[in-house]
Structure 1
Amino acid sequence: MYSWYRSTTPGGRRAFVATFGGWALEAADAQIFGLVLPTLMALWHLSEGQAGLLASATLVCTALGGWLAGFASDRWGRVRVLQVTIAWYAVATALVGFAGGFESLLVLRCLQGFGFGGEWAAGAVLISEYVSTRYRGRVLGAVQSGWAVGWGVALVAFSAAFSLLPATWAWRVMFWLGVLPALLVVLIRRGVGDPPVYRREREPVSWTGIFRPGLARVTIFGALLGLGSHGGYYALTTFLRKTRGLTVLSTTGYLAVFITAAFAGYVVSGIMSDRVGRRKNIIGFAVLCLLSLVPFLLLPLNNAGMLVASAPLGFFSAGMPGGLGALFAELFPTEVRGSGQGFCYNLGRIVSAAFPAAVGFLSAEIGLAASIAVFAGAAYLLAIVAACCLPETRTAGLPDLADPSTAAPHTVSR
């Protein structure tokens, strides 16, 4: 990745900074809610059902925002949509700090979600078109690692705010700080332009373009891959939050281990994607995700044991989405690349919104551990099957570029 960064154009370097920064700051804004939710539940006497509705509604709106932003980036430009989505979620996050109760919080969280989903869709397609095939996997993996960085930033801000301020004000200050990503829009407006391949290849598009003959099969299996990746992740995190009365998830030590492992997982997945291929990398991480769950299901771990076992789980669960960006970019031609990436990556978020409730329902019949095993196993098996049904794109690269693994990042063929 560093070789690419040194050799690419100034526009490519600025695009990387913008997309990495946008993803990291989005992660910080997104993680704030999970950190302050216990405080809100205590202050406003929210029920578990209301807390679950807030999480599910945000996921659904995030998915819808990703689809819409992907299509918009094809029609109106990658950079313009990236600017709008970053400004959108920054302002919406700050407004959450003024919420006065459950109803207003629900509305504002939904508005946040639209911006969250849109930022990834626009940012991922932007940087994927600046990067040559040789480095695309590791660069997209590095961009994804920004999520772990943003998570860490949110954790530090949370610790500082709740140490210095009373809880009634600390949670509001946390959200007000979420307006800071809007400053990134200034950088993007000053120095980042749409990739040459997009400017040369753009054509009028329809929102149904990803289902046209020749692309429908790729779109369907790509969406199933996204569903399996997200579904498995949400099944695993549901287990960690509910099993054995676990409290370690809310501790700084656990989160530090998990976040560090996740950062490494994103980066390593990107490198392996370039070395062994997009499909093999994704399949390998899916299998390892299931294996890393075994200690949690079979061993009587205490909080110290959970701390140790969380490292491989964080690494492998991050590696799955870390490998999706390059594959999805290379599956679709330029005129529908944003639409395709946005749809495939985000479909799983809608379905995953129902996972916590489904896990709870099944666990009443067969137990929580068995229920998680069923859902996580089904999700990652679906991801493996879907990956096997998609073409390997590492050597072909973007459909509109001629041999990008050896050509300059902006080489284009008609």
Structure 2
Amino acid sequence: MKTSASLAQVRPDNEVEGKRYKDITRVEWRSLSLAGLGWTFESYDSFLLSLLLPTLALQFGLSKAQLGLFTSITAAGQIVGGILFGYVSDRLGRVRTAMLCIGIYSLFSGLLAFAPNEHWFATIRFFGALGMGGTWTAGAALIAETWHASRRGKGGALMQMGLPVGAILAITIAGIVTSVNDGLGGNGWRVLFLIGALPFFILFLVARKTPESPIWLERKRANAQPAIQKTAIDEKLNVRGLVTAFTFIFFLQYLYWGVFTWTPTFLVAVKHLDFVHSLKFVLALQFGAITGFLLFSAFVDRLGRRPMFMAYLLVGAAAVFGYIMSSSALVLMVAIFFTGFSVNGIFAGAGPFLAEIIGNTASRGFFMGLAYNGGRLGGFIAPLVIGTLASTSGGFVLGLSTTIVAFIAAAIVVFFAPETRGKALS
């Protein structure tokens, strides 16, 4: 039997919890600290590659298609790692798995600083991406199982906000290194990856103070009981929910990796902005993302998952169209802001939505990892497609235009998906 404390974590009882709806507990904050910071530093590592693509092209003598392979290798590693460590988190626990994954991507990010050529770089990047993928899976499961159902959407949104914060951190540190080193060539780019080794040491103490998921602990206790008592918690897999989650994330990942990977290069090659100037537009992208996350967190538990997803997809399609076609600096800045707002901000609802639509199962971590990181296939495909088409300015525009098709496809998935707001997890 569940204790009253564990039931309080998963029961959306408005009469009991209504007065405390806005009172986030200490346990919830601690779970957010680990999951959110782990995701922030992972984002630093991911976005750093996007910033450094022009530099790496010069250092290793690579074409745009070859550069796209670096990003696709990252996505491939995240796919494998997210699924693998989702399985591990169901057995080892959310907190320990999150720390293990943070250690992996920290180690291999530091090793990238010593890569002698593109082959070593790609190999090291793949192994680091294993930990990057697992960090989201363990962290999102921890948030979904720790935060009360009435504010689970807020918790997931605040965790995902680490994505733009990490990107802004990468931009800021890259700017400092550029200033000190007079550019990112030579050893400048190596210093940036070496800094990426620090998260493990920063988050080790955070992990020690973070309680394990009460739902995971309850299932672990139940697994020690006779099989006849365990059947009550071993629910059947919701296949339709898993397919819906996977398909939705596939199109979101295509959007994210397609737009965010190639933004710096697109601004230089097609919009003819120098790199320092283009950073202003990239910052607009990230601040738009932060605004998108904050707005999503404020309304998702009130309005529901589906209305928020549909609104963000509509805004995103219009913004990306303006971002691709605009020739005015002002219009371009506004369009990029709303691109970040929507393309990045929509991920605010990913973790809670996946946990809720997949439902109650002893393998929640594995199936969340399968849906989210399996959906990264979209992120694997997008850089290759756009990079291949980007040999000319017109081809670059055509490549980024494929993201508008992904917006429409994601909206169709949401239209047929059920609303999951307030769903109890156990």
- Report the TM-score, using the length of structure 1 for normalisation: 0.86
SS at match of 1:186: helix
User: Is 1:111 matched with 2:127?
Assistant: yes
Distance 2:24 2:286 in 1: 30
Q: How many equivalent residue pairs?
A: 387
Query: Does the 8 Å CA contact 2:36/2:160 hold for their aligned counterparts?
Result: yes
Query: Does the 8 Å CA contact 2:49/2:71 hold for their aligned counterparts?
Result: no
Letter in 2 for 1:56: S
CA deviations 1:119-142 (Å, max 9, x no partner) are 011111111211111111112111
Cα gap change, 1:37 to 1:17, in 2 (>3 Å): same
Aligned to 2:214: 196
Q: What is the CA distance between 1:357 and its match in structure 2?
A: 3.4
User: Is 1:129 matched with 2:156?
Assistant: no
Two-structure CA RMSD over aligned residues (Å)? 2.6
Letter in 2 for 1:84: L
Give the one of 298, 303, 320 matched to 1:293. Answer: 320
Aligned to 1:404: none
Distance 2:274 2:140 in 1: 29
SS at match of 1:179: coil
Cα gap change, 1:200 to 1:219, in 2 (>3 Å): same
Cα gap change, 1:29 to 1:369, in 2 (>3 Å): closer
Aligned to 2:248: 225
Aligned to 1:327: 353
Q: What is the CA distance between 1:237 and its match in structure 2?
A: 4.2
CA deviations 1:284-342 (Å, max 9, x no partner) are 2112211222323554x144432232111111112221111111121222512211221
Cα gap change, 1:329 to 1:371, in 2 (>3 Å): same
User: Is 1:176 matched with 2:176?
Assistant: no
Query: Does the 8 Å CA contact 2:65/2:387 hold for their aligned counterparts?
Result: no
Please show how residues 242-253 of structure 1 align to structure 2 within 5 Å. 242=266, 245-248=270-273, 250=275, 251-253=278-280
Cα gap change, 1:308 to 1:288, in 2 (>3 Å): closer
Give the one of 307, 318, 326 matched to 1:280. Answer: 307
Gaps of 5+ in 1: 205-211, 401-414
Distance 1:157 1:368 in 2: 28
Distance 1:100 1:302 in 2: 41
Query: Does the 8 Å CA contact 1:29/1:175 hold for their aligned counterparts?
Result: yes
User: Is 1:390 matched with 2:417?
Assistant: yes
Aligned to 2:363: 336
Q: Decide which moves more: 41-50 or 168-177.
A: 41-50
Query: Does the 8 Å CA contact 1:248/1:303 hold for their aligned counterparts?
Result: no
CA deviations 1:155-213 (Å, max 9, x no partner) are 11111112112531221111111111011342244211211111112477xxxxxxx95
Q: What is the CA distance between 1:63 and its match in structure 2?
A: 1.4
Distance 1:370 1:161 in 2: 34
Give the one of 111, 114, 123 matched to 1:95. Answer: 111
Gaps of 5+ in 2: 1-19, 224-234
Identity of aligned residues (%): 26
Q: Decide which moves more: 355-364 or 375-384.
A: 355-364
